Amino acid sequence: MAKLSIVIATACMLHSVLDIFGEDPSTGRLSDYRKTSQYYYELHRPQFHFTPPMNWMNDPNGMVFYDGEYHLFYQHNPHGNTWGHMSWGHAVSKDLVHWEHLPIALQDHYGVMIFSGSAVVDFKNTSGFGDGTKPPLVAIYTGHGHGKQTQDIAYSDDRGRTWTKYEGNPVIDLNMADFRDPKVFWHEASHKWVMTVSIPLERKLRFYGSSNLKEWELLSEFGPAGAVKGIWECPDLFPLEIEGTHHSKWVLIVNIGSGSIAGGSGCQYFIGEFDGTHFTVDSASPQSNASGEQANWVDHGKDFYAAVSWSDVPKEDGRRLWLGWLSNWQYANNIPTHPWRSAMSIPRSLTLRGTSQGLRLIQSPAKELRKLRGKEIAYHELEIMNGTRTFTEGELSGKRLEIIATIELGSASEVGFRLRKGKDEASLVGYDVIRNTLFVDRTQSGDVAFHEDFGGKHEGPLAIENGHIHLQIFLDDSSIEVFGNLGETVLSERIFPSPDNISVEYFSKGGDSKISSLRAWNLQSIWHP
């Protein structure tokens, strides 16, 4: 007993010492770190992706647009560079591209951690948290502690700068150990709030309804369905327009902790109808993963997880915007970066498209990213005989690039780009003409040894259109995101190349191919002038 109390006392002391060094930008370790020459210049620090200044990050949380600002909260450990002490870190952006770090919004407290969740603008002040002059922001999150997970809420009347936990928490308590990640939206047709929340181990979602965000009633359940391995986490539900029509369908997003298409964690979706109570799937023809399970995969790379969309993007804008966590639970805690760990993907807008395979979820890079482009580099009708075309440094090279290319496959059996090419290293973005797959091969991309599940080649199906494929690639210091055929197949992957390797090569194997057109730009940093 005495031993235990010493341990507890030491832990409390340690915790309060750590608190002093917490991540409030006005205090302690972070403000000191900010003054160093390393700050946002560290090895592998992404230059146009969101990363926390220091310490661990996982899922995006509380994504909401309000008063000209996109809020990005995130699962964060303010005290270390691995998972723990889960709190909500916070940043805002006026343009989806440049981010301003703000103090931690919600912090773990007396053994209750703040797990993932969402935030909404309560325009009608249904919660009564508002002062009547402006709508309150309400965060709906999972409280994790004392052996269970509950759904809790907090509110802010100062544009998300400070938050008050609701005194009547929890708002849903099923006395369950695993019950988490509430995503809430206002369902106009039935005039109520709808929460989608996961029962991870049962691979089920539950829908709850509420008139005031405080009292919730069960509407229905969904699942198991799709990929049946892996726990279900971080769901989302929203209507999406089918491109070229004025017709919408509902899309249900379910992130799964393991067993995804590329191995480890990933994201699947269902297309169907939501009537205010039930979600009904109406889209068949899903793709299978290696173990033959059937699912529609959002991203075929290994690093796109816990993706959820922004709430309350203005109607005039009309886009459904989201981003995901560029990592995978298999090795997230081992990523070789310091003193922070993890990055978010670039923001993407979502649509539905009728393809030869049926209706598909399409991801397109947010157009705002174009403002990062430097001088345009362009090529047309560049024929490449069976072999390699190396671009010289004055032509096309760099650590941060956007490349848009239309490739005529000709007689080649495999084509693509070697990025961050050095003597013994390269990260490949390619197309396998025989198998009709778009791939990223990071087997020799640099540091892959930090975890046995990290290296490897990952692929997704991509159709050839009139003898061509279309690629849009975003390369940052330690990531690749490739959008095939205008967002039909996407792969997101981290890479950790040697800093001196900046060359770009095009390769055409097994025959000749042609770059019909290529436009590329070196991209500016969002953290430095």
Encoded one letter per residue, x for contact with ligand FRU by CB under 6 A and - for no contact, window 152-191 reads ----------------------------xx----------
Q: Which is nearer to ligand FRU, 57 or 396 (CB)?
A: 57
Q: Comparing C-alpha atoms, which of 336, 339, 362, 300 is closest to residue 493?
A: 300
Cβ 226 to ligand FRU shortest distance, Å: 17
> With binding defined as CB under 6 A, does residue 150 bind ligand FRU?
no
Beta bridge partners of 77: 56
59 is catalytic: yes
> With binding defined as CB under 6 A, does residue 234 bind ligand FRU?
yes
Cβ 77 to ligand FRU shortest distance, Å: 9
> With binding defined as CB under 6 A, does residue 23 bind ligand FRU?
no
- Is residue 96 within 8 A of residue 53, CB to CB? The reply is no
> With binding defined as CB under 6 A, does residue 236 bind ligand FRU?
no
> With binding defined as CB under 6 A, does residue 115 bind ligand FRU?
yes
The count of other CB atoms within 10 Å of the CB of residue 466 is 5
Beta strands in 99-231 (DSSP E): 100-106, 113-121, 137-145, 148-156, 164-165, 172-176, 180-187, 192-199, 204-210, 217-222
Cβ 86 to ligand FRU shortest distance, Å: 5
Output Rg (C-alpha) for the chain, integer angstroms: 23
> With binding defined as CB under 6 A, does residue 59 bind ligand FRU?
yes
Q: Which is nearer to ligand FRU, 22 or 117 (CB)?
A: 117
Q: Which is nearer to ligand FRU, 85 or 442 (CB)?
A: 85
Instruction: Give the span between the Cα atoms of 20 and 15, in whole angstroms.
Output: 9
Q: Which is nearer to ligand FRU, 86 or 471 (CB)?
A: 86
> With binding defined as CB under 6 A, does residue 122 bind ligand FRU?
no
Q: What's the angle, vertex CA 198, arms to CA 195 and CA 203, rounded to 5?
A: 140
Pairing of strands 55-66, 340-341: parallel
> What Cα–Cα distance (Å) separates residue 111 from each residue in 29, 75, 519?
23, 16, 52
**Of 19, 24, 32, 59, catalytic:** 59
Q: Which is nearer to ligand FRU, 153 or 518 (CB)?
A: 153
Instruction: Give the span between the Cα atoms of 419 and 429, in whole angstroms.
Output: 8
Question: Which position among 87, 116, 311, 501 is part of the footprint of ligand FRU (CB under 6 A)?
Answer: 116
Q: Which is nearer to ligand FRU, 86 or 92 (CB)?
A: 86
Cβ 142 to ligand FRU shortest distance, Å: 5
Q: Which is nearer to ligand FRU, 115 or 207 (CB)?
A: 115
146, two tokens: 């004392």
Cβ 341 to ligand FRU shortest distance, Å: 13
- Is residue 499 within 8 A of residue 406, CB to CB? The reply is no
Instruction: Give the span between the Cα atoms of 515 and 463, in whole angstroms.
Output: 17
Q: Give the CA count within 13 Å in the CB-facing half-sphere of 401.
A: 25
Encoded one letter per residue, x for contact with ligand FRU by CB under 6 A and - for no contact, window 299-318 reads -------x------------
Size of the site for ligand FRU (CB under 6 A): 12
Question: Which position among 47, 51, 55, 58 is part of the footprint of ligand FRU (CB under 6 A)?
Answer: 58
Instruction: Give the span between the Cα atoms of 332 and 328, in whole angstroms.
Output: 5
Cis peptide preceding 347, ω within 30 of 0: no
Q: Site residues (CB under 6 A) for ligand FRU?
A: 58-59, 75, 86, 115-116, 142, 180-181, 233-234, 306
Give the residue numbers marked as catalytic. 59
